[in-house]
Amino acid sequence: MSTVIAVNRPVIHHSAALRVAAAAIAEAEALGIDVCVAVVDSSSRLVACLRMPNAFLISDEVSVAKAKSVASAAGLPADHAPVDHSDALGGRGMSGRVDGRQLVLGNHRLIEERGQCSPALEAVLRGQEAAGRSVTVLADEHQALAWFAVADTVKPHAAQAVAALRALGLQPVMLSGDNAATVRAVAAQAGIEQAEGDLLPADKLARIEALQKRHGPTAMAGDGINDAPALARSDIGIAMGAAGTDIAAEAADIVVMNDDLGRIAETVRLSRRTHAVLWQNISLALGIKAAFLLAAVLGGATMWMAVFADMGASLLVVANGLRLLRHKP
C-alpha cells in the first residue's frame, strides 16, 4: 500500500515539521505503508519533502520550478487539479468539484450523515479514533475513497500548564470538534478529567453558557474559526496567536503570542495580584482621607496634613502599584 500526503499550511519551524513527519512515517512504515509527505507553505510553494529514509528541506529562495522537480523526484505529482465551487461545511469539512467530479473531505460525522460509512470503514475509523487520532475521509457521490488519520502532538508542557491551573483552584474542561474518543485520549495525556467531543461551534457556545450558569465567570482558550463564538461569549476569551486564526484573535480578549499554555496560569496569577494591589490602594487612599477628616472635625488638622492627605496619598498609591513591575513570570 502506498500513500501520498500533501500538507498545505504555513511552516514556521521546518526542522520541527520534519521531525514530526519522520515519526509519523516511521509508524506508518512499520505497518507496511509507503508514505511520502510534502509540506507546502501558504503560497503553495513546497518547503519540505520527506520520504523515508531521506528528507529534503527546501529553502524559501528555491523557485517553484525547482520545488516541482524535487516533488517529482520524490514521486509526488508536480501539479494538482483546481477545485471549483468549494464550500465549507461547518464543523464537518468541505466540498468541491475536481475535474467535474463532486468530492467531499470531512470528518466521521459527515460520512455517517451521507450514509457512506460502511461497517468495514466504521471499524477502521473507530480503531483510529480509539488510538487518539482524528480521521478525515475523502468521498465522492457514491462511496468513500480514502481516509487520513492524523494526531496532534500534545505540547510538552501541556500537563504542567493544566496542573498549574488546578493549583490556582480552576477547573479545566476540554471542548473539541474532534471525535469523542480522540478528545478523551488527548485529555488524558494533558491531565484533563472533563472532556467533550463532536461539538459544533453552536455546541461549544452552549457549553460555555452552561458552565457560566453552573460555575460563574468562565474563560475560554482557543485558536480556530469554530472557537470564535465561544471565545466571544466567554467572560475572558484567550486566543493562541502564533498558530491561531485571525477571527479567533479578534473575538478574544487576550492573545497569547507564543502559544505557551503556561501563560494562561501566569495571566491568572498576575490578575489576582493586580486585584489585590487595587484593593490595597483603595483602602490606603480612603483610610488616609478618613483620618484627615476626623482630625479636621476634632480641630487638629493642619495645612501639611491636608497636603499629605492629598498628594501624599497619591504618591503612596503610585508607589504601591509600581510593585507590580517586579512581578516575574
For the segment 51-65, the average pLDDT, to the nearest whole number, is: 40
For the segment 195-209, the average pLDDT, to the nearest whole number, is: 90
Checking if the pLDDT of 214 tops 50, the result is yes
Residue pLDDT, tens place only, 146-201: 887 777 677 788 899 999 999 999 999 999 888 788 888 888 888 999 999 888 88
Checking if the pLDDT of 255 tops 80, the result is yes
Over the chain, what is the mean pLDDT? 76
Strands (E), the chain: 2-8, 34-40, 46-51, 54-57, 83-89, 93-98, 101-106, 134-139, 144-150, 173-175, 194-196, 219-222, 236-240, 254-256
Examine the domain organization and report whether 180 and 132 are in the same domain: no
Residue 41: which pLDDT band, with cuts at 50, 70 and 90? Answer: very low
Checking if the pLDDT of 25 tops 80, the result is no
Any bridge partners for residue 37, and if so which? 5, 50
Q: At which of 30, 53, 80 does a domain end?
A: 80
Instruction: Please tell me the predicted confidence (pLDDT) of residue 71.
Output: 55
Examine the domain organization and report whether 188 and 225 are in the same domain: yes
Instruction: Please tell me the predicted confidence (pLDDT) of residue 2.
Output: 33
Q: What is the CATH number of the domain that holds 102?
A: 3.40.1110.10
For the segment 44-57, the average pLDDT, to the nearest whole number, is: 40
Instruction: Please tell me the predicted confidence (pLDDT) of residue 149.
Output: 79
Checking if the pLDDT of 86 tops 80, the result is no
Burial 49-71 (b: 16+ CB within 10 A, else e): bbbeeebbebeeeeeeeebbebb
Examine the domain organization and report whether 246 and 181 are in the same domain: yes
Examine the domain organization and report whether 260 and 310 are in the same domain: no
Checking if the pLDDT of 9 tops 60, the result is no
Instruction: Please tell me the predicted confidence (pLDDT) of residue 162.
Output: 93
For the segment 304-325, the average pLDDT, to the nearest whole number, is: 88
Examine the domain organization and report whether 7 and 104 are in the same domain: no
Tell me which DSSP letter residue 44 carries. S
Examine the domain organization and report whether 191 and 252 are in the same domain: yes
Number of domains the chain contains = 4
Examine the domain organization and report whether 201 and 226 are in the same domain: yes
Checking if the pLDDT of 87 tops 50, the result is yes
Checking if the pLDDT of 54 tops 70, the result is no
Checking if the pLDDT of 76 tops 60, the result is no
Examine the domain organization and report whether 140 and 172 are in the same domain: no
Complete DSSP assignment for 240-296: ETTTS-HHHHHH-SEEETT--THHHHHHHHHHHHHHHHHHHHHHHHHHHHHHHHHHH
Instruction: Please tell me the predicted confidence (pLDDT) of residue 107.
Output: 86
Examine the domain organization and report whether 278 and 303 are in the same domain: yes
Q: At which of 80, 111, 132 does a domain end?
A: 80
Does this model's pTM top 0.85? My answer is: no
Q: What is the amino acid identity at position 202?
A: A
Q: What is the CATH number of the domain that holds 206?
A: 3.40.50.1000
Range of the domain at 67: 1-80
Instruction: Please tell me the predicted confidence (pLDDT) of residue 14.
Output: 40
Examine the domain organization and report whether 171 and 231 are in the same domain: yes
Instruction: Please tell me the predicted confidence (pLDDT) of residue 11.
Output: 34
Question: By three-state DSSP, how is residue 328 classified?
Answer: coil
Contact 74, 36 (CB under 8 A): yes
Residue pLDDT, tens place only, 266-297: 999 999 999 999 999 999 999 998 988 888 88
Instruction: Please tell me the predicted confidence (pLDDT) of residue 19.
Output: 46
Examine the domain organization and report whether 49 and 105 are in the same domain: no
Higher pLDDT, 276 or 309: 276
Q: At which of 219, 239, 264 does a domain end?
A: 264
Any bridge partners for residue 196, and if so which? 175
CB within 8 Å of 36: residues ≥ 6 apart = 3, 4, 5, 49, 50, 51, 74, 75, 76
What does the chain come to in residues? 329
d(CA 260, CA 168): 17
Residue pLDDT, tens place only, 101-122: 888 888 888 888 898 888 888 8
